[in-house]
Structure 1
Amino acid sequence: MFDELLQAARELLAVRSPLDAELLVSDLLGTWWPQRHRTLGGAGVEQIVGEGLIEYAAQRRSPAALALLSGIACLGTSRQAIAAEQAAIALIDDGVRAPRWAEYLGAVSPAECYVNPDEWGDQDEVICVFSYAGEEPHALVSVIDYNAAGMIRDGWVSSQVDKLLDHCRSASARSGTRPDEGFREIDAPQARKMLQAALAATDAAEDPPVSEAFAARHAFIRARIRALPPAAGRAGRPKRAWPPERRALLAAEFLASDEAEELSDRRAASRCADLIIDFGCDQDSGRPQRMSPAKVQNFMLGYLPRKVLLSVADQNAMPHAVGAWIRWSGRIRGLSDAAVGQTLDTLFDSMATFSRIYRDPAEFGLDEKLVARLLPDSDLEALPRRAFAFPILEGRHGGVDLSKLDPSDPSDRRLLLAADHDTRTGSPSAAGVGRHIDRHLALADRLWRGSPSALWDAAQRLLDTGEDRHMVLHALMDVLDAAGGDETALKTALRELATGLSDDDLNGLTNPDA
């Protein structure tokens, strides 16, 4: 594989432009970007492949190897950049000739930065202009999608900077957007802050919904973000999350509006408003008043059916509350009647589907009171993992009525887990078992919170292999113990758990006596 990558790097010897060279190297580095979360023996793909390629190229002592190392020194990760630069210097000292464009790498300087939002605020195009000491100006266009957790979903480079900017200005003028909400210049530190957060969201996702060409541009985008100046002082700090009191004030403002006057069930309308606000604050970069066709569809057909436990009254009230919120927020934000109408059309089109796909747990034969005890926060997505952590919620144990215990209360959790343990072992908890329950308690707390999400993913993979619940619990507890509080090590170990293991390996992992 390294030999094939080095042969592909021979194209670098034919280019004259440092920009073309950087794009070629970025394309090569993007070869393994989709597998960035894979690990082998605790080492990540960037270390195994990226740093392995550098070591391989350093031993070849050819112009193509030096060209590749020069490019990685500018576009690679921090570890890769240091190793590639040292290897490139060694080859130069040995008399290997560097390509002419190599002297310009790293000399890129930023110029103006702009943001080009769409009408609804679904996405921003962040445009950053760069040059090599005033030569070969080019613009990097990065698309941030706020309906996809604020990720960068696409990016491309244009050398026709003036034509690109003129097109954006003309399109913004034709749309009639207010100057402070349309295409406009922003300072470079602000652009860096926006792009850093967006790229981090993309990199953190296991399977982000990016364009087909994104992997090839990822390293280039990362390097250009590093070239932008950082924000100074408090300006570079993240904004505070919306506190509960601010959310409550916004809900009260909406419920007092003319648009909300038609909502007959005021209590259900209030609960629906809280959910709309929480979705906007937590899933849409702190913008609860922003509504768009795409956001409405995500809320009605994705977020609510997957994440939220709604009462029958709330299910009936939700479409009407969302419609009132669309009209109210559209008036507040100054959206055109056409934009508000198109968003309402999406809501109306989704109502029948929402009624069909939203499933109350009671429809599956689950006891409503038991579900309510497991979901005091109405987080429907948490139901499977919490039921896995606390399978016994009724009956009596040691004279205690388990149906009266609260699984969200740490003191009650111990009694519930002790009852579960004794049901399996057939013996009452003793002092030694009590220490064992402590391990179960630590695991149950993480499963309850879903922290990290990889914990429940690993549990499901083990269950899919046919292992019983008790063995899976012990395998997860062993991983927690081995990580020793290191969250990065924990996530790495969980991703590896039950991935590509033989039956003997699985037996060793899940056998508590092994």
Structure 2
Amino acid sequence: MSPRSRPSGDRRRAPDEITGIFDDLLRHARELLAVRSPLDAELIVSEVLGTWWGQRAAAGDVEEIVGERLVEHAGRAGTPAALALLTGIACLGTARQAAMAERAALALMDRGVARPGWADRVGMVAPEDCFTSRDVFGDQDTLVCVYSYDGTDRHALVVQVDHNRSGMVRDAWVSSQVDRLLEHCRQDERTNPLMRFEPLDPPRARALLERGLAVTGAAADPPVPETFPAYHAFLRARMRALPPGYRLPAPPVYGRDRRATLAARFLASDEAEDLSDRSAAGRCVDRIIEYGCEQDQGRPLRVSPVKCERFLLDWLPRKVLLSPAEQDAMPHVLAAWVRWAGRRSGLPPQAVRAALDAVWDATGAFTEAYRDPAAFGLDRSLVHRLVPDGELEALPRRAFALPFLSGEHHMPGRGRIDLAELDPADPADRRIMIEFEHPGAAPEHLDAHERLAVRLWNGDPPQLWETAQALLDAGLERHQILHRLIEVLARCGDDPDALRRALHTLRHNPPPM
């Protein structure tokens, strides 16, 4: 069974349907009886274990849960193919799957079920060398880890680690043509001045893989190819075969003062001399530094074509509200930053030129991609009241928390008020808005709404707004949702873990309308 045919949709499947799927997998496992190489056997088992990779349910990780049920099913089947599958899972499964598979396999062996010929060698793999093929920009590492079974069945695991996505593992595959692969990498370095091919300390390779797999696993929909699930268990096992002992350094911390110093040095540089609107340039460089610090693992000085494109065409349009002057200035400021940061970080001239080409190639698309609120019929002054910090992504949740922003009204005890003159970011004005929405409510009730509004305003925690959106999708009205969230906040108090769990439950089990 290919990973492309793995089940989707409702994960709470009927027992008969699950049993049918397990029977299909056991039929697929018959291939294990025909292979001689432990490498081939491990790749087949990895494909089986990857059938449900990446799917999740409220009860936990589907791959883990269904994998354990597959082990139980294979133990009951008691066939040579089932024993072969259990033998492979004992090497490639999660810790719990492996322990269960080993017990089940021993039970079948005691009953006289025939073992496959490769059983004594499977999992007996040792690492030889590790290398990395990387670009000078620091966008990506392609790790090449070489293994063998006591000198035979030599093979290379090739893994792409994307540093533009927090070191995420993006792809993996296996090659038995090790010498040819290594020579191709060396040839690529000789012909491409922007590529480097170097030995890599195996403990460091393991640390990169551990972090990368964790990032991939935590992503809701990781951008991996359809073939990746088939290699996931194999990759996890090969990672464990590498020696531990290396700890990746924590990303450097750039506080407010350090960021301000970096911006000031840039604005005083020769590269920034021709920037005409110094005020807009200052605000633009603040965003460039923010992106490098918070989205690029604390590396504001790193520049690359991919990073520039993602900044201009993905992050800015989704996250930041720019004034018209800042929109005009941003590509020019980014180009000056590329020249300045590239010089400071020692980037080769041809690499700087490639990054600059990416900036100018993306400029036209940036103008089209940037979402000016005015283009959607939103009043710019109103938007600025809701996002005075420029955090465009916060606009919908803040509008949900405080939707009444215009109109003149008479309020008991306050007289005539103009909501358009109130600042929702100011605590006193925010209280007036909440009183307007809840006339005659008790102070305790107003306090609860105010606490929720502050949390939604700040996105604290992010799951609060995610839950509100899920309840909106389920058909609940806004005020019903507010009261549900207030109840959760009151019940969980100051326990952030309890709050996250309660929001998860509410998000996946919305109350009836």
Aligned length: 485
Please tell me the residue identity of whatever aligns with 1:287: R
Alpha-carbon deviation of 1:85? Answer: 2.2
Alpha-carbon deviation of 1:492? Answer: 4.5
Superposed CA deviations along residues 305-326 of structure 1, whole A, max 9, x for unmatched, are 1101112221111011011122
Aligned CA distance change for structure 1 residues 465 and 489 (closer, same or farther; 3 Å) = closer
Structure 2 SS opposite 1:506 = coil
Q: Distance in 2 between matches of 1:228 and 1:492?
A: 36
Please tell me the residue identity of whatever aligns with 1:6: L
Q: Which residue of 2 aligns with 1:184?
A: 198
**Is residue 214 of structure 1 aligned with residue 231 of structure 2?**
no
Q: Which residue of 2 aligns with 1:51?
A: 68
- Contact 2:489–2:499 at 8 Å: present in 1 too? no
**Is residue 38 of structure 1 aligned with residue 57 of structure 2?**
yes
How is 1:6-85 mapped onto 2 (pairs within 5 angstroms)? 6-35=26-55, 37-39=56-58, 42-85=59-102
Q: Distance in 1 between matches of 2:414 and 2:107?
A: 75
Structure 2 SS opposite 1:100 = coil
Q: Which residue of 2 aligns with 1:456?
A: 465
Q: Which residue of 2 aligns with 1:512?
A: none
Please tell me the residue identity of whatever aligns with 1:27: E
Q: 1:125 aligns with which of 133, 142, 150?
A: 142
Structure 1 SS opposite 2:384 = helix
Q: Distance in 2 between matches of 1:216 and 1:362?
A: 47
Structure 1 SS opposite 2:36 = coil
Q: 1:154 aligns with which of 157, 162, 171?
A: 171
How is 1:396-411 mapped onto 2 (pairs within 5 angstroms)? 399=414, 407=424
Alpha-carbon deviation of 1:380? Answer: 0.6
Please tell me the residue identity of whatever aligns with 1:12: L
- Contact 2:467–2:503 at 8 Å: present in 1 too? no
TM-score (norm 2): 0.85
Please tell me the residue identity of whatever aligns with 1:427: G
- Contact 1:458–1:497 at 8 Å: present in 2 too? no
Superposed CA deviations along residues 32-84 of structure 1, whole A, max 9, x for unmatched, are 1142x234xx3441344212111111111122112112222222223222222
Q: Distance in 2 between matches of 1:67 and 1:3?
A: 14
Q: 1:314 aligns with which of 326, 339, 345?
A: 326
Q: Which residue of 2 aligns with 1:510?
A: none
- Contact 1:413–1:441 at 8 Å: present in 2 too? no
Q: Distance in 2 between matches of 1:192 and 1:398?
A: 66
- Contact 1:452–1:491 at 8 Å: present in 2 too? no
- Contact 2:488–2:499 at 8 Å: present in 1 too? no
Please tell me the residue identity of whatever aligns with 1:170: Q
Q: Which moved more, 1:458-467 or 1:298-307?
A: 458-467
**Is residue 388 of structure 1 aligned with residue 400 of structure 2?**
yes
- Contact 1:23–1:220 at 8 Å: present in 2 too? yes
Q: Distance in 2 between matches of 1:105 and 1:478?
A: 54
Please tell me the residue identity of whatever aligns with 2:31: E
Q: Which moved more, 1:119-128 or 1:392-401?
A: 392-401
Please tell me the residue identity of whatever aligns with 1:175: N
- Contact 1:390–1:416 at 8 Å: present in 2 too? no
Aligned CA distance change for structure 1 residues 79 and 414 (closer, same or farther; 3 Å) = farther
Structure 1 SS opposite 2:512 = helix
Q: Distance in 2 between matches of 1:491 and 1:277?
A: 33
Q: Which residue of 2 aligns with 1:419?
A: 435
Structure 2 SS opposite 1:138 = strand
Aligned CA distance change for structure 1 residues 343 and 43 (closer, same or farther; 3 Å) = closer
Q: Distance in 1 between matches of 2:71 and 2:503?
A: 27
Please tell me the residue identity of whatever aligns with 1:108: V
Structure 2 SS opposite 1:101 = coil
Q: Which residue of 1 aligns with 2:267?
A: 255
Structure 2 SS opposite 1:241 = coil
How is 1:90-129 mapped onto 2 (pairs within 5 angstroms)? 90-129=107-146
Superposed CA deviations along residues 174-204 of structure 1, whole A, max 9, x for unmatched, are 3345xxx721112122111211222111111
**Is residue 278 of structure 1 aligned with residue 290 of structure 2?**
yes
Aligned CA distance change for structure 1 residues 318 and 108 (closer, same or farther; 3 Å) = same
Aligned CA distance change for structure 1 residues 345 and 71 (closer, same or farther; 3 Å) = same
**Is residue 493 of structure 1 aligned with residue 505 of structure 2?**
yes
Q: Which residue of 2 aligns with 1:506?
A: 512
The sequence identity of aligned pairs, in percent, is: 53
**Is residue 292 of structure 1 aligned with residue 304 of structure 2?**
yes
Unpaired stretches in structure 1, ≥5 consecutive residues? 499-504, 508-514
Aligned CA distance change for structure 1 residues 378 and 82 (closer, same or farther; 3 Å) = farther
Alpha-carbon deviation of 1:5? Answer: 1.1
- Contact 1:254–1:325 at 8 Å: present in 2 too? yes
Q: Distance in 1 between matches of 2:248 and 2:293?
A: 20
Superposed CA deviations along residues 354-380 of structure 1, whole A, max 9, x for unmatched, are 223323334444444543343243211
